[in-house]
Structure 1
């Protein structure tokens, strides 16, 4: 262990002077160890390799500040650890951004559904207004107000069979007119009327 530390100190001194062979030897000594350390956290070979490269780029760029008397091994693992933390922070920010985008798209999708619903409702109301007055009143009382045929008959002072016949004719009329309209209007009529 002492020999490794003294060899590291010699290599760090060479690296500080810009000696590429010292850098290469440090890379050969530590790159696999750093990779194993990083992949235990990231579980991704590509991301781990990228972090190993980043660690050694930082070592090269900051070679003038290296201190030969300090443990190079501890120093390089500290850089790797910081890069892992940075990776997860970036990933968390990215995930947060994606979640925000999904939330925004869900909101706009809800807005689109609301607009489509209003549009379908408007089309259905136009069709209902085409019904003869008595039939329209019976239809509204039944399908919109939720009254039974008996309640409508009593309120309008007409026979229950008249109410039922008017409802049947109203539905036939609406479905025949809706066949020329969008699928949304047809679906609305079939589901709710």
Structure 2
């Protein structure tokens, strides 16, 4: 048995008895090696620092379980390995949970958005249905078919100024009638409609 194993055995025996100086000596002896070991797995300085603290806390709490007839080195590295793998499993589970949550939230938001959008389309259709034919035609040609004021004027046989007036009056009416419903309406939907 070499001197380092003998020193580890003696320190382990003292630690098992609750000797704080032995704990400090073990900390000084293993801190850098355990840091390198844990970092090689986590690739994160922050996680490694956190895990290093947990390793030494667990070592102190489990000191009475130390078997001085066996390798102390194996004992402390087993603690380090188990805590590190548990940490990685926890992160993986949290990441999966987070992804599942975001997927569900985006699905809910998509459904909510579609419902709100559908409701406002219905409201807009009701408003348009009650407009005079000329105003309704101007609005549909402009906002839903994307025609220019000149094209609308040519199609309906009216002046561009009349097209502008019809659009202005229709938009004002739509805004007024949609106002009570705007609490549910997202601004993007509002601009889509008008």
Q: TM-score, structure 2 length as denominator?
A: 0.73
Distance 1:124 1:185, change over 3 A: farther
The residue that corresponds to 2:121 in the other structure is 121
Shift of 1:172: 6.5
The alignment partner of 1:131 has SS state of coil
Report the number of matched residues. Answer: 175
CA contact (8 A) 1:16 1:63 kept: yes
Residue in 2 aligned with 1:178? Answer: 174
Name 1:35's counterpart in structure 2.
35
CA 1:77–1:186: 2 relative to 1, 3 Å: closer
Q: Secondary structure at the match of 1:67?
A: coil
User: CA offset at residue 65 of structure 1?
Assistant: 1.4
Q: CA 1:163 to 1:174, structure 2 compared with 1: closer, same or farther past 3 Å?
A: same
Q: Does 1:188 align with 2:192?
A: yes
Please report how far the alpha carbon of residue 25 of structure 1 lies from its aligned counterpart in structure 2 after TM superposition: 0.9
Tell me which residue corresponds to 1:47. Answer: 47
CA distance in 2, matches of 1:165, 1:92: 67
* Equivalent in the alignment of 2:67: 67
Distance of aligned partners of 1:75 and 1:184 in 2 relative to their CA distance in 1, 3 Å threshold:
closer
RMSD of aligned Cα (Å): 3.3
Partner residue, 2:91: 91
| Deviation of 1:184 (Å) | 5.2
Superposed displacement of residue 38, structure 1? 0.9
Query: Aligned equivalents of 1:48 and 1:175: distance in 2?
Result: 61
Does the 8 Å CA contact 1:131/1:170 hold for their aligned counterparts?
A: no
State the alpha-carbon separation in 2 of the partners of residues 37 and 30 from structure 1. 10
**Alignment pair present for 1:164 and 2:156:** yes
Q: Max radius of gyration: which structure? A: 1
